[in-house]
Structure 1
Amino acid sequence: MDAARPLRVVFGGDAMLGRLVGKAIARFGHGYPLGPLAATLAGADLAIVNLECALTACTTPWPGEPKAFYFGAPPAAVLSLADAGIDLVSLANNHALDFGVQGLRDTLQALDAHGIAHAGAGENLAGALRPALLERDGIRFGMAAFCDHQSDFAAAHDRPGIAWIDLENPARAADDLRAALTTLVEAGTDWPVLSLHWGPNMVWRPSPRFRRLAHAAIDMGWKIVFGHSAHVFQGVEWRAGCPIIYAAGDLVDDYYVDPGFRNDHQLLFELDLDARRVLKLAMRPLFIEDCRTAPAHAAARDWILERMRALCRDLGTHTGIEGELLTSLPQ
């Protein structure tokens, strides 16, 4: 490895490629939703997102309690991820089984066929808990993924599903996180990443309980906490030089834009690191419009930067502005 060259790891929030996004892909091509970000994503050494839909032609919804929304994208939508440079996705979320076990199996098959690693769901509990392992320039990354809602999606020893975690039981949750970390440590991982699909929608700040859990995760040895689910970004926090991304927001979707939350105003999180430490965190403002995500225009960028600076300040995190990016150094 060239010791003078840090690696860049990019985290994006929820990628929902179904409904109107799927129709846009069919009309304009698979490069449409993330094409404006492809240079940034593919230019990173590792690009990680939460896949907030099934990749399937199945139209039979999950047979459990009816949901307000079911997110399914055509299998070919996997090319939107692959061609944009996405390397790894979390599947531990409340939409992975929206179209049942068949939808999950189709998703796994599509990702595997295009070399996109995944964690957080599988054919059984062991598969759902199995971490994704990737190496870049001799540095080993590993990610385990959990979700705290949609408990009926939970994998079991004899049932496909997601890695569900009971955050209402802190002791049990800590045991689950510790077990997952042990697996990554035994695999020789330099950078264990904890992906958490947690908490309510449209909430700007992590709860005290979530902050305690994130702190405990770093204290036990996780090096990066990658949170998502809120559909808006939350402030980042440093602990022992390790970043906690409480909520990465959305990467692409077709959702109704709430004027009070401006959930079309988003961020991409970019970490520069070496084998031992994070060197810098940069946050790139994004704007989602017509099922397509691009670098934010000036007015949106100013709003995002101001909002994120305030949210970070609330968590004791110092930030600065470098050109169009918001940056923070380890604290």
Structure 2
Amino acid sequence: MLSLITVGAFAYLIQKLDPPREGDKGGGLALPPKIEAMSKPPATTIPVTPEKPPATESGAATAPPEQSPGVKLTFVGDVMFGSKVDDLLQKNGYDYPYKHVKPYLEKADITVANLETPITTRGAAQEKEYVYRSSPQSLPELKRVGVDLVNLANNHSMDYGVEGLLDTLDYLDAQDIKHVGAGRNSDEAYRYVIMEQKGMKIAFLGFSRVIPDTSWYAGKSNPGMAETYSTKLAFESIGKARAEADLVVVIAHWGEERKAYPVKSQTDLARQYIDHGADLIVASHPHVVQGFEQYKGKWIAYSMGNFIFTTNDNPNTWESMILEASCTKERSCDLSMVPILTKWAQPIPMVDEARDKLLEKLTNLSVNAQIDKEGRITLGPTRTVPIEAEEMPPVKKETGIVDGTSKTAVKPPANGTKKPSDSDKAADPKKAEQSKKSEAGKTTETSKKPDADKTQAGKTGESGKTQGTGKNTEGKKTTGDGAKSSEGGKKSPESTKKSAEDPKKSTDSKKTNESSKSSGEARKTEKDRKTSG
């Protein structure tokens, strides 16, 4: 009874406090205000919590893919410490060349240069117009400023013969400076060097298509250069490097001196290197800067110019660059450059108008690249770049030096001393007479030696220049060292003289005419023979 009274009293109290609302049927119990409000849809939008990343089978969330950390590579052009450069080093100290550029070389993970000189105090000067050698005392400072690797595949590394090259290898090893492009045999010359930074393996290789004499070619049992007149070994080495490394860099030596645009052999080789697995190509030899090209997403720097070298009166040879490449395991590189003015063997970063002019110049020289005011190199509009005809490679001979004019040994000159010029050699009356006959198109004798025939035929058919003076017919003075172009082979004047004096070695006029008509074919045959080798 008491319970019933209590419930009735409670119901009566509720009714008094909360009377029936309009629309309510009967008097029943109304919901408490708070409970009623919560049961209705919200009047405003409630913030939605972001969805979690999709879970893997194990239940862990999958993070977005991260790009691998980049490795910074820095490249500079031709470096040489002999001749007048040595005079400056003796006067100002071995740190003299680096006073304005040391920070750029030090901050890179790996810094690379083209060493355009043997490091030696021994050896016999090769028979070529200019020869160089540099003191071993120049290497410690090169290492100290951050240079980690050098390319030796070029037309000066054997200026003092095999002995000079072997000394160079030993001195570099002693300073822990890695080297590519030359070796004690062909295996070592074509071998790639792998350097690891930030968990990334970078393979470096060095090749040259500018070699004065075939005796400089590395062989199975003889020291020499990694040449690419025949590309078989180079392509094989690139392929092996790609299988082992995260990035493959080719340091090339090629082209024609003082030419602003690449010759056909440069563009052909660059693209073939990439087709066989190279990810980045940085090159030298013209002694002037050339433009950039991106091919299949890979960058090509056709010529870096001089970095530490002798100075001549051609201002184009004073222009250089420091090339910086930020590369990843995805085999891609972002490039930027620092414009450099190099005079008296001391490279200095350009500023203001001079800097802007070189950046604009390089943009105009590039195939499909553009360079902004900060030096960043990006893909740009494709331009029609004049690709010049390829010059002749050296022709193998049984004796003599292709780039020289004498088969006899000479006394080693002072470092970088100029040999007698071709104009001096042509002053010989007999040679002058031979030159006149050649210019008039009166070929009167042809050597029976197959290689000599090919040398003469190739010159007449491909370069169309005169023979008989012993002159390097395609040569032009270089920009940095003054040497003539050593890409082409040359017939020794002594062999020409012997051919003229020995009637047994003369051919009849019919054979002479046939030789003249088929000169281009003879040269092509020789080239094919070398390529297939």
Q: How does 1:277-292 map to 2 (within 5 A)?
A: 277-292=331-346
- Structure 1 residue 220 corresponds to structure 2 residue 281: no
- Corresponding residue for residue 249 of structure 2: 193
Which of 122, 138, 145 does residue 77 from structure 1 map onto? 138
CA offset digits 1:149-185 (Å, max 9, x no partner): 223311111211111221xxxxx42x33321112313
SS, match of residue 163 in structure 2: helix
Task: Give the deviation of 1:3 after TM superposition.
Answer: 5.8
SS, match of residue 105 in structure 1: helix
Larger % of strand: which? 1
| Contact 2:152/2:206 (8 A) holds in 1 | yes
- Corresponding residue for residue 183 of structure 1: 240
Which of 15, 21, 37 does residue 85 from structure 2 map onto? 21
SS, match of residue 373 in structure 2: strand
Task: Give the deviation of 1:297 after TM superposition.
Answer: 4.0
Cα distance in 2 for residues equivalent to 1:133 and 1:279: 17
- Corresponding residue for residue 225 of structure 2: 162
The one-letter code matched in structure 2 to 1:321 is K
TM-score by length of structure 1 reads 0.89
- Corresponding residue for residue 269 of structure 1: 323
- Corresponding residue for residue 363 of structure 2: 309
Task: Give the deviation of 1:207 after TM superposition.
Answer: 2.3
CA offset digits 1:262-318 (Å, max 9, x no partner): 211111111112111435211111111222112124343233122112112xx1213
- Corresponding residue for residue 289 of structure 2: 233
Task: Give the deviation of 1:240 after TM superposition.
Answer: 2.2
- Corresponding residue for residue 169 of structure 1: none
The one-letter code matched in structure 2 to 1:293 is P
Q: Give the aligned length.
A: 313
Task: Give the deviation of 1:59 after TM superposition.
Answer: 5.7
Task: Give the deviation of 1:99 after TM superposition.
Answer: 1.1
Cα distance in 2 for residues equivalent to 1:182 and 1:3: 25
| Contact 2:360/2:371 (8 A) holds in 1 | no
Cα distance in 2 for residues equivalent to 1:127 and 1:176: 12
Return 5+ residue gaps in structure 1 as ranges.
167-171
CA offset digits 1:214-265 (Å, max 9, x no partner): 1222122110112110001111111222111111111110131314xx2111
Which of 165, 168, 180 does residue 107 from structure 1 map onto? 168
| Contact 1:271/1:280 (8 A) holds in 2 | yes
CA offset digits 1:23-54 (Å, max 9, x no partner): 22222221111232111111001111110001
| Contact 1:144/1:195 (8 A) holds in 2 | yes
Cα distance in 2 for residues equivalent to 1:17 and 1:296: 23
Cα distance in 2 for residues equivalent to 1:192 and 1:321: 29
Return 5+ residue gaps in structure 2 as ranges.
1-65, 381-533
The one-letter code matched in structure 1 to 2:183 is G
Cα distance in 1 for residues equivalent to 2:68 and 2:219: 45
The one-letter code matched in structure 2 to 1:255 is T
| Contact 2:182/2:190 (8 A) holds in 1 | yes
Change (3 A) 1:190 1:86: same
SS, match of residue 144 in structure 2: helix
- Corresponding residue for residue 9 of structure 1: 73
Which segment is superposed worse, 127-136 or 211-220?
211-220
The one-letter code matched in structure 2 to 1:284 is V
> Percent identity, aligned pairs only?
28
- Corresponding residue for residue 321 of structure 1: 373
